[in-house]
Amino acid sequence: MHCAIALGSNLGDSLNYLESSLQELDKSPYIEVVLCSKWYKTKAVGGPRQPDYLNGCAILNVNLSPKELLHKLQAVEEQFGRVRDIHWGPRTLDLDLLLYGDVIVDCPDLQIPHPRMKERDFVLLPLNEIASEWIEPLSGKTIRELLGCLSLKNC
């Protein structure tokens, strides 16, 4: 199953954390990193005042359920020093599961598609770079169309 993840970091050696986390995922059983966007420097959204982020997206080929993949992503975050003490606070590594094929999941601990991805240029811009024709299953729009809607703010 192809899935899309967003990666972000704004503490410590962000570039190293992002690239090393992809290597760690690629070494994991049942996960292959297929594509990765370039890294984008972006302002923090929400939360306290904090350093700028490096953000990007990756496409993975996985043989895991969505919840198994979520747990793996959280384990990698912890491996790279992620601490969850401030909502939308600074972090060494943030890995978000955006899309899992055309699957829709709505559980308390996991929502796919990611519920805020359509509002975030720091997600849609790098995702468009590597998966512009992927159809977001709730809206029926491609990633390219969602990015256009975000810039026009009228969709």
Is 96 known to be catalytic? yes
Choice among 49, 94, 102, 121 that is catalytic: 94
Is 120 known to be catalytic? no
Quote the distance between the C-alpha of residue 11 and its chain's center: 17
Is 102 known to be catalytic? no
Q: Give the tokens for residue 95.
A: 């890995």
Q: CA-CA distances (angstroms) from residue 29 to 18, 32, 61, 67, 76?
A: 19, 8, 11, 15, 13
Choice among 13, 52, 96, 144 that is catalytic: 96
Is 13 known to be catalytic? no
Choice among 26, 91, 102, 120 that is catalytic: 91
Choice among 82, 106, 116, 120 that is catalytic: 82
Contact partners, residue 24, CB within 8 Å, separation at least 6: 76, 79
Catalytic residues: 82, 91, 94, 96
